[in-house]
Structure 1
Amino acid sequence: MSTSPGRTDFASDNYAPVHPEVFSAMADVNVGHEAAYGADAATAGLDAAVAAEFGEHALAFPVFNGTGANVVSLMAMSPRWGGVVASEHAHIHRDENGAPERVGGLKILTVPAADGRIDPASLQSWAADLGDEHRAQPLVLSVTQSTELGTVYDLAALAALVDRAHALGMRVHVDGARLANAAAALGVSLAQACAGADMLSFGGTKNGAMGAEAVVVLAPDLRDSLATDLPHLRKATMQLGSKMRYASAQLTALLTSRDDSGDPLWLRNARHANAMAELLRDALEPLASAGVVRFAQATEANAVFVEMPRELAAQLRETYRFYDWQPGTAPQTVEVRLMCSWDTAPADCEALASLARAYK
């Protein structure tokens, strides 16, 4: 199926176009010559915006993509013999083609997470390897907020997990590809949605940017060393952009561009995407009540996970793109993921649900 211009799909929030305010911000910096590699006014503006959002100690390093942000973050906190504890569903484990291991040399150590969230008690299974020269050392915990299954760590759950990891001597990394969606769902700031973490992969692309992510150093005790070391690591891992002003302008727009109500763009985009996921779930509810489909996860951010007959999925896919997540609980069913974006409209949700409700 080829994507038709202007069509809304439910495959990924990466499918969505660039938000006009982000495009405008890029146009604003598209004037004349500027110093390359981050020595420009736009990147200085991003530094100020990140400090305002995450604290004056925070440092941001724009990179090309989320995988790059994750690999650079994890390498910055880990020696070559380090291991990274993560959910069995973690993007760094399942969807980055082994990049943390191939590029970073870091073993991924998974723990079960039925709903995407890691139980603090599960960290103990790897902590026993600390000091054993025959085992990868579990020195970093990577947490995804919101999770790969569309769920969100509330502030108490996140604090308990972070505290447990730190007590075991682990640093904490947050994969924040959809941090904005988590913060919007919780009604908190971006900083609160990743509170206690040492490093953050801050996502912009899924939240209306053209292509911009950032490694953000959050831990004050890492600031001085990584201010010196991380630029070299970013370059060595091929994540240093020459015309960085365009990436910086995108992220700054998400953080600082405000509407008449005073809400920043990241919040407006994420809140809308979350609301559309809730609307889509509500529109599919009659099918769940009738036993035709089954919701596989809570809908807490901008994703709806639903098990449905394979025949129904095939019919819907004639009109919309979306991904199969895993086999269903019966041979004739499949669990699919339906993602909503900043530009998803209520009519899009109703149209998909209407097609589904027509299934016989």
Structure 2
Amino acid sequence: MAVPMQFLSDNAAPVHPAVWEALRAADEADAPYDNDFLSRRLDEAFGGLFGCEVAALWVATGTAANCLALAPMVPPHGGVVCHREAHIEVDEAGAPGFYLHGAKLILAEGEGARLTPGDIEAAIDPIRDDVHQVQPHALSVTQTSEYGRAYSPGDMSALARFARERGLGFHVDGARFANAVAHLDCLPREACAGSDVLSFGFVKNGGMGAEAIVFFDPALADVVRYRRKRAGHLQSKGRFLAAQILAMLDDDLWLRNARAANAAAAEIAGACGSRLMHPVEANELFVRLSSSEREWLRASGFSFYDWGEDAARFVTAWNTRAEDAAALAKAIAEL
């Protein structure tokens, strides 16, 4: 039986060979937990990438990265402002409330699953400043958004200014941060300008099972080291997580992989025309398709997720073959 041409998710993509090589090279005795040589290199590696002092911690999943990143900024009685479609709201099974000991998500609306200062004001200004209502303590945005939209450096700076003015911590969910940087063609720090902490995604971009939490305020990492242990994410052989991350950072593999995924998505987008529900600014495409059209595409050998009643989501990855992207573009154009 023919293997479908894979556009389900970048989570389904294979591990990059360089990551496997790094894992094999790390398979030697070293200090446990995060005291090994590779884990101790993370602060310097990310500091060089972002051009500033940082503290970087590994975890195994994006959900843990997001929730632990928010943990030092939000008390149990507080709230996190996020988009209604944010991953922490829609796809993390209540994990923020679990990790933050009951803290609430305060949902805002915004075009393309992105937020502006005005969108955030609309969500938090009606909250009374008294003990009877949950007060916002942090802002979380996704770069790129859940609909594949990128925040420009100017957008990020505006959000950071707003967060400072309102006394909010600022978290960026960067599950596809690499794709945003590739699209924006900017410095990594510009793509999360002014944020206090970034969840830097690697699994979707060629990693096996490692994500990074990058604290631009290194003091925030101190409490998270304890929270990470309590949450069950302090792995005893942490060098294998650090090895994956360092392999992706080496020679900008993370960025080259993202550029390849974005290029494949752009080729497909060129055939979609008015079917596109959102501009394609990373490696996700949301396309209007009837049930019969989706059935025909699947019968033609393409795998993807339905997205509501009359749409589909296609996701490209670092390893998407040029011939597969061209075949999907041709098939959509022929509908």
Q: Same fold (TM over 0.5)?
A: yes
TM-score, normalised on structure 2?
A: 0.94
Please point out which of 22, 27, 35 is paired with 1:30.
27
Aligned counterparts, 1:193-342, within 5 A:
193-219=191-217, 223-224=218-219, 226-256=220-250, 258=251, 264-285=252-273, 288=274, 294-318=275-299, 319-327=301-309, 334-342=310-318
Q: How many equivalent residue pairs?
A: 332
Equivalents in 2 of 1:156, 1:184: separation in Å?
A: 16
Q: What's the secondary structure of 2:127's corresponding residue?
A: coil
Specify the alignment match of 2:117 in structure 1.
120
Equivalents in 2 of 1:130, 1:233: separation in Å?
A: 31
Listed one character per residue, the Cα deviations across residues 63-103 of structure 1 (whole Å, up to 9, x for unaligned) are 01000001111112111111010011100000111111233
Equivalents in 1 of 2:2, 2:10: separation in Å?
A: 14
Specify the alignment match of 1:145 in structure 2.
143
Letter in 1 for 2:36: D
Q: What's the secondary structure of 2:112's corresponding residue?
A: coil
Q: What's the secondary structure of 2:131's corresponding residue?
A: coil
Q: What's the secondary structure of 1:115's corresponding residue?
A: helix
Equivalents in 1 of 2:52, 2:329: separation in Å?
A: 46
CA contact (8 A) 2:71 2:99 kept: no
What displacement does 1:56 show? 4.1
Q: What's the secondary structure of 1:44's corresponding residue?
A: helix
What displacement does 1:227 show? 4.0
Specify the alignment match of 1:168 in structure 2.
166
Equivalents in 2 of 1:216, 1:131: separation in Å?
A: 31
CA gap 1:238/1:8 in 2 versus in 1, 3 angstroms: farther
What displacement does 1:45 show? 2.1
Equivalents in 2 of 1:145, 1:272: separation in Å?
A: 18
CA contact (8 A) 1:127 1:138 kept: no
Specify the alignment match of 2:44 in structure 1.
48
Equivalents in 1 of 2:175, 2:97: separation in Å?
A: 20
CA contact (8 A) 1:11 1:339 kept: yes
Specify the alignment match of 1:11 in structure 2.
8
Bigger mean CA deviation after superposition, 41-50 or 172-181: 41-50
Equivalents in 2 of 1:155, 1:309: separation in Å?
A: 37
Please point out which of 99, 106, 109 is paired with 2:106.
109
CA gap 1:127/1:36 in 2 versus in 1, 3 angstroms: farther
What displacement does 1:127 show? 3.9
CA gap 1:164/1:56 in 2 versus in 1, 3 angstroms: closer
CA contact (8 A) 1:283 1:349 kept: no
Listed one character per residue, the Cα deviations across residues 231-263 of structure 1 (whole Å, up to 9, x for unaligned) are 11001112211111111111111112x2xxxxx
CA contact (8 A) 1:85 1:109 kept: yes
Specify the alignment match of 1:261 in structure 2.
none
What displacement does 1:274 show? 0.6
Please point out which of 53, 58, 74 is paired with 1:57.
53
CA contact (8 A) 1:276 1:346 kept: yes
Q: What's the secondary structure of 2:79's corresponding residue?
A: strand
Letter in 1 for 2:272: L
Listed one character per residue, the Cα deviations across residues 261-315 of structure 1 (whole Å, up to 9, x for unaligned) are xxx1011001111111000111334xx4xxxxx1100001111111111111122
Equivalents in 2 of 1:190, 1:338: separation in Å?
A: 26
Listed one character per residue, the Cα deviations across residues 317-357 of structure 1 (whole Å, up to 9, x for unaligned) are 33222112223xxxxxx121111100012211122233334
What displacement does 1:180 show? 0.5
Q: What's the secondary structure of 1:76's corresponding residue?
A: helix
Structure 1 residue ranges, 4+ long, deviating more than 6 angstroms after superposition: none
Equivalents in 2 of 1:3, 1:326: separation in Å?
A: 27
Provide the identity percentage.
40
Equivalents in 2 of 1:267, 1:227: separation in Å?
A: 25
CA contact (8 A) 1:89 1:113 kept: no
Equivalents in 1 of 2:231, 2:303: separation in Å?
A: 33
CA contact (8 A) 2:268 2:326 kept: yes
CA contact (8 A) 1:123 1:165 kept: no
Specify the alignment match of 1:83 in structure 2.
79
TM-score, normalised on structure 1?
A: 0.88
What displacement does 1:44 show? 1.6
Unpaired stretches in structure 1, ≥5 consecutive residues: 259-263, 289-293, 328-333
